[in-house]
Amino acid sequence: MFVDFFYSLKKAGIPVSPTSFLRLQRALSLGLINSIDDFYTSARAILVKSERYFDLYDQIFAHKFQGADFKDPTELELSEVAKALLEEWLRDPRGLAQALGIDEKALSKLSPDELIKYFLERLKEQTEAHQGGSKWIGTGGTSPVGHSGYHPGGMRVGGVSRNKSAVKVAMERRYRDYSQEGPLTEAQMGEALKRLRNMVPFGPKNKVNIDKTIYQTTKNGGEIEIIFDRSLRDRLKVILAIDNGGWSMDPYIGIVQTLFNYSRSQFKDLKTFFFHNTIYDTLWEDPPRRTKPFAVDELVRLTPETRFIIVGDASMAPYELMATDGSIYVEERSGRPSFDRLKFIAKTFSHSIWLNPVSIDEWGYTRTISAIREIFPMFELTLDGLEKGVGYLMRKN
Amino acid sequence: MQDDAQSAKFTGASKYVLDEELAKIVNISTALEMPLLLKGEPGTGKTMLAHAIAEAFGMKLIVLNVKSSMKLIDALYQYDTLTRLNDSRFGDSKRDVSNIEEYIKMGKIGQAFVSRERVVLLIDEIDKADTDFQDDMLDVLDQMEFDIIEIDKTIRAEHRPVIVVTSNAKKDLSDPFLGRCNFHHIAFPEPDMMRSIVHVHFPDINKDLLESAIRTFYRLREIKGIEKKPATRELINWIRAMRTDSDFRVKDLIKGEVPYLGVLFKKSPDYVVAQNSIARFKI
């Protein structure tokens, strides 16, 4: 029963295990699930183990069970979506045009009213044409309908006003806020930070040092004295270099910095440096990049085990990266291109990564991003990317 | 036990307002005898749920507060070597020194297992401990038994406890652990829900006060740049503070004044930020 549903979840990338599926079967056979509402909540509790996947689950549930208990979206709902699409269009015309598979230019000729009308027609067409069960709510997150969502406002507690069917609740996509693909918000920051905590094993003072205990006991003339030691722990040294110049980085600095300030207690040694666009001969310890320079050459004196994390959008004019006197600041020009300096850093610290707040889809459009990716493994500054990045930093040798 | 679980359906408790969705999940977890893992921001009532379940089912509640340095063995049992050593040297206690069992003390999980009745076991904030802790716990929760190595004895759960695990989402839990739990994420209550929660705590609350307090509360939560947003607990304490103050008038609150801000914001930077933004939102 519902094998198909199970596989759709799996296909969409939700880590569902066969055991949990069997457990769901047991719940079904125990007669605990009597309605589609029950099924929605129970299957989610049993199969899905992280709120990050709740959104995806909602989408797939809505898609799979639309035949069973699904009414066509009302006119009102459709116009909501159309409005959301319009907003999306204003923000990112090209992306939306691509997703809908239409010509950007043709669309840009339309007035807002005409646009809304056009979207509405498209949406109706989609619902009507695909009632046979193929999806009109995107599962991968690219379909425009799925993407803009039914509740741009985000979260809602379905249990409160419960006159909607489970499918409708699923359609609300209440858990969109927790979706993994989203960028790092302040609320998620804590979560990401704790991922870094994985890097430093904690240890209480719980290991008996037998040698010392025996020594101390004999010294006491048989009076037993037990000596405890802390179990070995690997506390990492971390250097964080943040690009804090240029308006493009502005929205992210606060987030990144707080993230690492919090983690100060976790790391034995956390150094924060600042730079603008890319690194030349100096890094700065003060955010205005004025009073406390730190020569890049000095970095060799630090242990090579140090984890070097660079956060920046890596977007600049190509000459800033490649030319011998590339810096936009005259006093920083030294005759060595930044490209070489970055290579030097990557060579000094074998565990180094570049975190980029720019979304991964756009990396291909910026030449300097591609160039820097040749030097550093680059990860997106999202929960997912951070996780991968930390994984990379923690790999052995 | 099966019938037990099915006949006793969880429908809420005296001081807990239950979301219908959550009730279903609780019932299904008790019926399947699986631990229920609850995640959500602080103040959404994760811990309270366990208390409510215990109250509703009339079971005893055993709370295991997980600490960062905790090892699983601490939660299972403790072998009090020190007392035994003392007893063996001075010999003035009534315990039998050669019988190790007398020096075994049950930890919280151990207590839940040996209990004569079915109990509710709350494992609070499991994410604080190492991932090792969760991994070690898997078998114990799966098999519902553990060994006491010192006396070579296996402790079996007489009644499978109702297990509630909470996590503040500080760290991701390990996959195998997640696989053995049912999962639910408690979202922050909506104003409607919050209204009924407040009602449960203050049944005789003045309607104006309730409305304006909740409106102000949600507005305060929206202030940008707050590190620790006020949660349900703060709201309830805040209302309590306003109700005990005889000089307090509801009109002031409606006008946009916020007394006892310190009850809501407990970090000084947050307090300052909130104060500044309040000055701006006069109605």
Q: List the CATH number of the domain containing A292.
A: 3.40.50
Residues A7 and A119 in one domain: yes
B11 contacts chain A (CB < 8 A): no
Residue A152 forms part of a structural domain? yes
Residues A226 and A281 in one domain: no
Q: Which positions 93-132 of B are in contact with A (Cβ < 8 Å)?
A: 127, 130-131
Backbone angles phi, psi at A52, to 5 degrees: -65, -25
Name which of A160, A174, A204 is nearest B192 (Cβ-Cβ). A160
> Does one domain contain both A14 and A157?
yes
* A138 within some domain: yes
Asked if A232 is an interface residue toward chain B (Cβ–Cβ < 8 A), one would say: no
Residue A340 domain flag: yes
**A156:B36 CB<8 A:** no
Looking at the fold, whether A211 and A350 belong to one and the same domain comes out as no
Q: Are residues A261 and A226 in the same domain?
A: no
Asked if A32's CB is within 8 angstroms of B28's CB, the reply is yes
Same domain, A340 and A283: yes
Is pLDDT of B216 > 70?
yes
Q: Which amino acid is at A112?
A: P
A70 with A12, same domain: the answer is yes
Query: Tens digits of per-residue pLDDT, B142-184?
Result: 888 888 888 888 888 888 888 999 887 656 677 778 888 888 8
Domain assignment present for residue A195? The answer is no
Give the model confidence (pLDDT) of B18-28 as tens digits. Answer: 777 888 888 88
Token digits of residue B9:
């359906």
Strand locations in chain A, DSSP E? 207-208, 228-229, 237-243, 269-275, 282-284, 293-295, 307-311, 352-356, 378-380
Q: Which of A310, A295, A340 is nearest to A249 (CA)?
A: A310
- Indicate if A47 and A65 belong to the same structural domain: yes
pLDDT in tens, B191-201: 888 888 888 88
For residues A84-113, average pLDDT: 61
Residue in A with minimal Cα distance to B85:
A224
Confirm whether A301 is domain-assigned.
yes
Identify which of B176, B98, B88, B95 has the alpha carbon closest to the alpha carbon of residue B132.
Answer: B176
Question: Does a structural domain hold residue A184?
Answer: no
Bridge pairing between strands B77-79 and B104-106: antiparallel
What is the distance in angstroms between the Cα of A86 and the nearest Cα belonging to chain B? 26
If asked whether residues A138 and A211 sit together in one domain, one would say no
Domain region containing A222: 204-232
Burial of residue A353 (CB within 10 Å: 0-12, 13-18, 19+) is buried
Assess if residue A362 is contained within a domain: yes
Q: How many domains does chain A have?
A: 3
| A160·B193 Cβ contact <8 A | yes
Could you report the per-residue pLDDT of A281-334, keeping only the tens digit for each? 888 887 777 777 888 888 888 878 788 888 888 888 888 888 777 676 666 666
Judgement on whether residues A133 and A77 belong to the same structural domain of the protein: yes
Distance CA A165, CA A37 (A): 7
The confidence score (pLDDT) of residue B80 equals 84
- pLDDT tier for residue B62 given thresholds of 50, 70 and 90: very high
Q: By CA distance, what is B168's nearest residue in A?
A: A191
Q: Token pair for residue A86?
A: 């319009």
Q: Tell whether the model's pLDDT for residue A150 goes beyond 80.
A: no
Strands A207-208 and A307-311 come out as: unpaired
User: What is the residue-wise DSSP string for B196-252?
Assistant: HHHHHH-TT--HHHHHHHHHHHHHHHT-TT-SS---HHHHHHHHHHHHH-TT--HHH
Whether the model clears a pTM of 0.95, i.e. scores above it, the answer is no
- Give the closest of B24, B169, B190 to A157, CB-based: B190
Q: Specify whether the CB–CB gap between B206 and B250 falls below 8 A.
A: yes
Do A23 and A152 lie in one domain? The reply is: yes
Judge contact between A292 and A283, C-beta under 8 A.
no
Do residue A45 and residue B182 have CB atoms under 8 angstroms apart? yes
B181 at the A interface (CB within 8 A)? Answer: yes
Residue at which a domain ends, from A232, A250, A274: A232
A52: helix, strand or coil: helix
Q: CA-to-CA distance for A280 and A274, rounded, in angstroms?
A: 11
Same domain? For A16 and A162 the reply is yes
In a domain, A256, yes or no: yes
- Under the banding of pLDDT at 50, 70 and 90, the label for residue A147 is very low
* Optimal mutation site among A50, A231, A263, A388, interface B, most CBs of chain B within 10 A: A50
C-beta atoms of B32 and A191 within 8 A = no
